[in-house]
Structure 1
Amino acid sequence: MKNIIAATLTSLLICVGFYQVNLDSDSEFERWALKHGKRYFGDEKTYRQSIYFQNKQMIDEHNKRTDVTYLMGENQFMAITNEEFVGLYLNPLSPEKQNEQDQIITKTNPKSPEPKIEQNLKEEYDWRGYAPVKDTGNCASSWAMAATNAIEAQYAIVKGIKVTLSAQNVIDCDGDWVGCDGIPTVFTQPQQAYEHARTRGILTESEYPYVGRRDYYSCQQSQLAPWKILSYMQNNDDIDYMRGFLQILRVQPLSVRVDATNWQFYSSGVFSLCSSLYKNSNYFALAIGYDYSNKNWRVQASFGKSWGEFGTIRLAPGNTCGLINEGVFVTLL
């Protein structure tokens, strides 16, 4: 009903000239929809088309600026608003959890939200290619994909084994999570996936394919799976949180919780338009590198390879997007 009302209003605004949409450009929108497997009809199509062209105009205007450090690009999110992007694809904390987690993170990480990197840590780390870039599709499952990515990377680094583990296995079989519903109900979101990997193991993607939804009581894992971990731990270096994060990143990637509110159309460059506060973090990703020479982090998302720089984003130095607030790493058996 909301979409129908919005579509009707949009149609009226187009007629009176508030939206400068060239209706001759239908084919451009339709080519985009076909490429990304989107299907719209009637008022819904009119509404989504108007959003598409508004986003296109915003991207064009942004990329013409000379004061920005990153570029935007068209992708699978062109026909949704930023509010929809956050609600459909990210994992924001509930208002109740925001205050609770602010108190917890203050106790566990009392350092400045923008700590300085030690001058003697001038190494560069790059773990690209050690874990496959995944795509959550229409499911807010970044928590499961970041965790399986961290385990996959560790198998590749330590044992020389390339494996793609099933995020769907974790989504279906982890009884403490809400699947694709978005807003978490517990504090240790990806850690639930790690606990499943520690106690029951995870099947491979080919054994348990991703479908991008969760049907309760639909777990298809009937026995222990071979892909297990020994333990998982959150970075909690009391002396220097940043230094501890970098020391772990030197030997393996970490799953992280970040503020991805404005990541919707990121295409390339160094990004910093985000909050470092833990309460604003709403997405799980994989920290895969730090480039000391160019002063940026490298983070792997789960929006597919066509998003960003082949599925990754570069973040400015410091605690950009809250990168170091919650870093989790694993050890294997």
Structure 2
Amino acid sequence: MMRVTFTVLSLVLAPCVLADYSSHPKAAQLADELAATGEYTRAEVLDVLRKAQRNPKLIESERKAPERTRTWPEYRSIFMDGSRVANGVRFLRKHYPSLARASAEYGVPKHVIAAIIGVETLYGGYTGPHPVIDSLATQGFDHPTRTPFFFSELKEYFLLCREMGFDPLAQKGSYAGAMGLSQFMPSNYRRLGLDYDGDGRVNLWSPSDAIGSVANYLKNFRGTNTGWRAGEAVAFPVKISSPPEGVAVNQKTPTHTWAALSAHVEELPVTLEATQAVGLLALQTGAEPEYWLALPNFYSILSYNPRTYYAMAVFQVSQAIAAADLAD
């Protein structure tokens, strides 16, 4: 799944353009696929699509998301501010029982879980103003390059609504259709969302459910127990002794071993096994990039949103929350 981050820096969107999506060429395909599941009739699906509103500005926002368009210093400054860190400490303390439980069960540090929720939605302060059906119909039918992904998420959204008893026209979220404090897309809401407060339903607008679901995501996104590694580090800033010719940077997985990179790296603060999987990050800050050595846990964060700047922002916010919590 490609995760799409929602932040409070979303563009101010123009009013929706009325459109009857029930007559879109792909509407019949969606209606047929959902009818085949037995959860909807074709008429029910087309009736919802008839009431969806087209908003081209949603596509513009997705394509101009800050992690796609800004330099690392610009992007970092969005999240590394005093209020986000201070509110992260407050969130940590207010929801300590749920965070401690999730950390114990999944191995994900409390401050990492809090940082993701802080980066995504300001700890639940801004979870998105857009009707999810509008976001997913617009992106799923009209996006110029990512229609297959969003069309699939639109189908998942209909199924989620049936399972959870949601009104498909009533739920609100991001310009990409992500929902709740954790900003899960519908497929991951269905697959990885947890009822962590024990009230019998998965409600990602509930802090407890969002906390447990984020931890579950980081641990199990790629499959059972193949994600977050308890007790291991995330990334280290490094100096490069020579240009790493032929070494790929900013990949989606740790594509190298420490043995392959060790000759290039100076001043690593830990000892790594030669076979340790690692990746090299190059963050553009000016004339010379800022290099980091990334370990597998960095790539667990990256699975949440496959942009290097996003994962690094979450990591650095988590470090700042942890430091502020200890200092206070």
Instruction: Report which structure shows greater RCO (CA 8 Å, sep ≥6).
Output: 1
Shorter-chain TM-score above 0.5: no
More strand by percentage = 1
